[in-house]
């Protein structure tokens, strides 16, 4: 009389060798993934530390772009690389002693700047659209006489024009409110706390010349994220492969009737 039995399938010839070979290949790939992940992860942090500096903005002079207490990342740049519309970090003892200041560059050496024409800032005779200003606020609350910015210097304003101690507060100084390019140490790329992200491009200045290109902050973030994924995936290979191997070895096989 036939009977149905359940028994563990015998190991086929050569199966153990194939499994071991596959396991070794997987381990190699796992190791490569972890190594590459560490390079990307740590390299991204090192790259970011070399190129960027964090700053906390203590005043409301740059709202709504940057609020009181916001943490920003600013790329280290030479003052000669600064263009119109950039938000920069600088230090000038005639403004504030031993403290960094964050303002927006609205005119560079050789430009003429004044305000206001039809309610807008005017640079080199062109009216500038400034969508980063608080909604409904004027381009300036005081009349700016026509100022010609000397070569090698910058004219800067806060985005909150009503309460910003910017170039308009220093018009009677010898430099007529301008700051040397050499005083600039960094250009703000993004607000990282709270997470507002990258600053919007100041497209209103495009008619006057090229704008600064965004820094590599986005690439650095992607490198760090990709590195973390590779490290986690590579590190998880061993435990996952072990669980799958034990599951296969313990799987019963149903024999045919005999």
143 is catalytic: no
> In which region does residue 221 sit, left (phi positive, over 0), alpha (psi from -120 to 50) or beta (all else)?
alpha
Q: Which of 23, 60, 93, 103 is catalytic?
A: 103
In whole angstroms, give the CA distance from residue 236 to residue 246.
16
Give SS3 for 233.
helix
In whole angstroms, give the CA distance from residue 216 to residue 189.
9
Q: Which of 4, 30, 60, 61 is catalytic?
A: 61
First to last CA, the chain: 8
Beta bridge partners of 52: 75
Spell out the residues 6+ positions from residue 85 whose beta carbon is closer than 8 angstroms to its own. 104, 105, 106, 201, 202, 204, 205, 211, 212
180 is catalytic: no
Which strand (E) or helix (H) includes residue 220? helix 217-249
In whole angstroms, give the CA distance from residue 155 to residue 188.
17
Q: Please give the positions annotated as active site.
A: 61, 103
């Amino acid at each position: 009389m036939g009977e149905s039995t359940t028994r563990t399938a015998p190991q086929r010839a050569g199966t153990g060798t194939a499994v071991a070979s596959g396991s070794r290949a997987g381990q190699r790939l796992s190791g490569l993934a972890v190594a590459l992940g560490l390079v990307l992860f740590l390299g991204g942090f090192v790259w970011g530390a070399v190129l960027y500096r964090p700053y906390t903005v203590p005043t409301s002079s740059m709202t709504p772009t940057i609020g009181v207490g916001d943490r920003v990342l600013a790329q280290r740049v030479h003052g000669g690389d600064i263009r119109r519309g950039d938000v920069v970090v600088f230090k000038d003892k005639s403004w504030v002693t031993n403290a960094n200041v964050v303002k927006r560059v609205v005119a560079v050496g050789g430009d003429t700047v004044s305000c206001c024409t039809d309610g807008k800032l005017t640079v080199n005779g062109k009216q500038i659209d400034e969508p980063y200003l608080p909604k409904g606020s004027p381009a300036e609350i005081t009349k700016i006489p026509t100022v010609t910015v000397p070569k090698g210097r910058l004219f800067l304003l806060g985005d909150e024009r009503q309460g910003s101690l910017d170039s308009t507060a220093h018009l009677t100084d010898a430099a007529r409110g301008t700051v040397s390019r050499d005083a600039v140490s960094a250009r703000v790329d993004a607000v990282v706390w709270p997470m507002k992200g990258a600053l919007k491009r100041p497209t209103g200045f495009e008619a006057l010349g090229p704008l600064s290109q965004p820094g590599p902050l986005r690439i650095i973030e992607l490198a760090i994220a990709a590195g973390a994924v590779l490290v986690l995936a590579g590190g998880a290979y061993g435990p996952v492969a072990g669980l799958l191997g034990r599951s296969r070895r313990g799987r019963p096989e149903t024999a045919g009737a005999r």
